[in-house]
Amino acid sequence: MDSRQLEYFVAVAEELSFTRAAQRLFTVQSTVSAAVRALEADLKTTLFDRSTRRVALSAAGQALLPEAKAALEALDRARAAVEEASTGLRGNIRIGTLARLSLVNLAELLGAFHRKYPLVEVQVATSPTGSTGLADDVRHGRLDLALLGLPKSELSGLDVRDLAAVPFVALLPSEHRLARQSAVRLEDLAGERFVDMPSGFGNRKMVDRAFDTIGMPRRIQVEVPELTTVPDYVRVGLGVAVVPEVELAEDPGVTKVAIEGTDLAWTLSVVTPAGRRSSRAVAALLDLIGDATRRQAPYF
């Protein structure tokens, strides 16, 4: 048994696919399959139940998985400690983020991190399914941490640090019957057509739940992939919107109105896998993220 075999085993166990595991490890499927077979031969047991349609962990595989992860993490920490002592902090960090994130200037933050720790390689990714996809990528080891916005009920299996929170506001066409009011209630908007982001995004989930709670599910007329494009569709009268009060461009055809009668708020969080000790590089980046958001106290 060697560390490479364990690494391939963990990748297959998390992806439940030899093909996806090979893609994740930048190798070919035959190499992954051979490593897992060698590990099974060494342990004299079957680690996966294989069929033409699916791959599943066997009972032995389920028992090995947490131990294999712990062993790999211990090896990573040992290597990092030696390398840091001789040349400075090293490592690789895979971070997930939302497409546009105004509460944290991620480019500035990662630039500062690179200047401080030039030997740490940082990879940044987004997910086509927004916060839901990012959370799933962290759970399955495809990302080391992610900046996202989801209700706490959907963050199981993750360690969560809240960074900032903003209220939701209503965006209305300027000629809308409610546009002159200082505040509206969700009930006032229930019969409207809505512009929003796809269902995997955290802000969409929160608003859907808020309307379901008052017994008035809403009708989505237009789905757009980025929050910054929502006002464009509101302005031309295709619907209203309920969105987090982040930095949106001023639009003379759109009126922003406060929402009362609800504690609906969007929270930006940074998440890491639960029960897993972060690498030194990830811990250093988490400290820097915390320092950056503490300087932006008005967002809390």
* Sequential DSSP letters for 61-106: HHHHHHHHHHHHHHHHHHHHHHHHHHH---EEEEEE--S--SSS-H
Go through the chain and tell me how many residues it has: 300
Q: List per-block mean pLDDT (blocks of 10 residues) for the chain, which spans 300 residues.
A: 91 92 91 94 92 88 91 81 68 87 82 91 91 92 92 91 90 95 94 91 91 93 90 94 79 91 90 86 88 45
Inter-residue contact 93 to 121 (CB < 8 Å): yes
* Confidence (pLDDT) at 295: 45
Every domain range in the chain assigned CATH 1.10.10.10? 3-70
The residue behind tokens 């895979």 is 94
CATH topology of domain 85-163+268-299: D-Maltodextrin-Binding Protein; domain 2 (3.40.190)
* Confidence (pLDDT) at 136: 93
Domain 3-70, CATH class in plain words: mainly alpha
CATH architecture for segment(s) 165-266:
3-Layer(aba) Sandwich (3.40)
Every domain range in the chain assigned CATH 3.40.190.10? 85-163+268-299, 165-266
Q: Is 38 helix (H, G, I), strand (E, B) or coil?
A: helix
